[in-house]
Chain A
Amino acid sequence: DVKVTQSSRYLVKRTGEKVFLECVQDMDHENMFWYRQDPGLGLRLIYFSYDVKMKEKGDIPEGYSVSREKKERFSLILESASTNQTSMYLCASSLSGSYGYTFGSGTRLTVV
């Protein structure tokens, strides 16, 4: 069964910390995505990548960066965590734009 694995289900970090969220897929997918999901706001795209070392800004990239050094791994970095980055973070991958996403289980991040 194909999988997208996010390294942590729950994470608590302090304001100002640098935070790394890791995502690994085992499906040889070209495209990978990072979303955040907040009540009442739905899914919002932070960054996406359509190839190794390539990245594109989504709708809300401010305060985030990403890294894709290998095809299977896409990392989201919060340079200096703030309380307004408390959220559920979802990683996804897809074979191409014509296909649906496979999502990870999510990381619920709390910044205190």
Chain B
Amino acid sequence: EDQVTQSPEALRLQEGESSSLNCSYTVSGLRGLFWYRQDPGKGPEFLFTLYSAGEEKEKERLKATLTKKESFLHITAPKPEDSATYLCAVRTSGGSYIPTFGRGTSLIVHP
């Protein structure tokens, strides 16, 4: 069974304090790893798709990287507006194209 695990469950940072969120997966045949941001009471917002090990994507203070077993979402010099829950999802080559979602990391950035 495909497994997607995000860590930590919750993270508190001071403004400007860089850190990383982790998404590890045990799947066969990765076809895509997706990162989303979700604000309280709203639907997730798509951030990035990564397809192969070594790939990197950036958007403002966020940078996503991918290895064969995990992905990191690096947050550089975060601001309070970066506070949100970050979800990752993994799609595999086996059968259904439906991705498996992790449970998310709740990030709070204090001013």
By the criterion CB–CB under 8 Å, are A43 and B46 in contact? no
By the criterion CB–CB under 8 Å, are A45 and B36 in contact? no
By the criterion CB–CB under 8 Å, are A101 and B44 in contact? yes
CB contacts under 8 Å to A, within B87-111, are 87, 91, 97-98, 101-104
Interface size range of chain B in the complex: 20 to 34
By the criterion CB–CB under 8 Å, are A43 and B87 in contact? yes
CB distance from A88 to the nearest CB of B (A): 8
Interface size range of chain A in the complex: 20 to 34
Contact of A103 among B41, B45, B49, B102 (CB under 8 A): B45
| B contact patch SS | strand
Contact of B98 among A4, A41, A45, A99 (CB under 8 A): A45
Residues of A within 8 A of B49 (CB): 98-100
Contact with A along B24-63 (1 / 0, CB 8 A): 0000000110101000011111101100000000000000
CB distance from A37 to the nearest CB of B (A): 9
By the criterion CB–CB under 8 Å, are A104 and B43 in contact? yes
Please tell me if A61 contacts chain B, counting CB pairs below 8 Å: no
By the criterion CB–CB under 8 Å, are B36 and A100 in contact? yes
By the criterion CB–CB under 8 Å, are A100 and B98 in contact? no
Given contacts A97-B31, A99-B49, A100-B34, contact A105 B97 (CB under 8 A): no
Task: List residues of chain A with CB under 8 Å of any chain B CB.
Answer: 4, 31, 33, 40-43, 45, 48, 58, 90, 92, 96-106, 108
Of all A-B residue pairs in the complex, the 5 with the closest CB atoms, nearest first, are: A97-B97, A103-B43, A100-B46, A42-B103, A43-B101
Task: List residues of chain B with CB under 8 Å of any chain A CB.
Answer: 31-32, 34, 36, 41-46, 48-49, 87, 91, 97-98, 101-104
